[in-house]
């Protein structure tokens, strides 16, 4: 029905398409496919940090990404998860809208 078609379209509306360097990081964390919601991108990035043990075991809000592809994308050696702004800046540079 019309509202279903609308729902499907709206459902697609909030998909984003990571650029290749970011997509490779998400796939290393187990992501499937090429378009995601922002929430999924954040989840996979969190998994990536966990899997690659980039966070400090004692100060668990600190991420040391220097020498990792994530650090290349962020242009940072380290950051605190308490200040997401560098991550949002990186996503602005590395995500395109996947709207139809």
Give residues in contact with ligand HUE (CB under 6 A). 42-43, 45-46, 49-50, 55, 60, 81, 84, 87
Measured CA to CA in angstroms, residue 87 lies from 38, 57, 81, 100 at distances of 12, 21, 9, 26
The nearest distance, CB 11 to ligand HUE, in angstroms, is 21
Question: Nearer to ligand HUE by C-beta: 35 or 46?
Answer: 46
d(CA 25, CA 77): 17
Strand partners, 80: 62
Residue nearest to ligand HUE (CB): 46
The nearest distance, CB 34 to ligand HUE, in angstroms, is 19
CA–chain centroid gap for 89, Å, is 11
The nearest distance, CB 36 to ligand HUE, in angstroms, is 13
Question: Nearer to ligand HUE by C-beta: 13 or 81?
Answer: 81
Answer whether 31's CB lies under 8 Å from 46's CB: no
């Amino acid at each position: 029905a019309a509202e279903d078609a609308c729902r499907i379209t709206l459902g697609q509306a909030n998909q984003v398409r990571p650029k290749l360097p970011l997509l490779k990081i998400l796939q290393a964390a187990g992501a499937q496919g090429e378009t995601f919601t922002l929430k999924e991108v954040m989840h996979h990035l969190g998994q990536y940090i966990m899997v690659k043990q980039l966070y400090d075991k004692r100060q668990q809000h600190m991420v040391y990404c220097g020498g990792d592809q994530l650090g290349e994308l962020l242009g940072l050696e380290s950051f605190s998860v308490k200040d997401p702004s560098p991550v949002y800046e990186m996503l602005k540079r590395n995500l395109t809208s996947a709207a139809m």
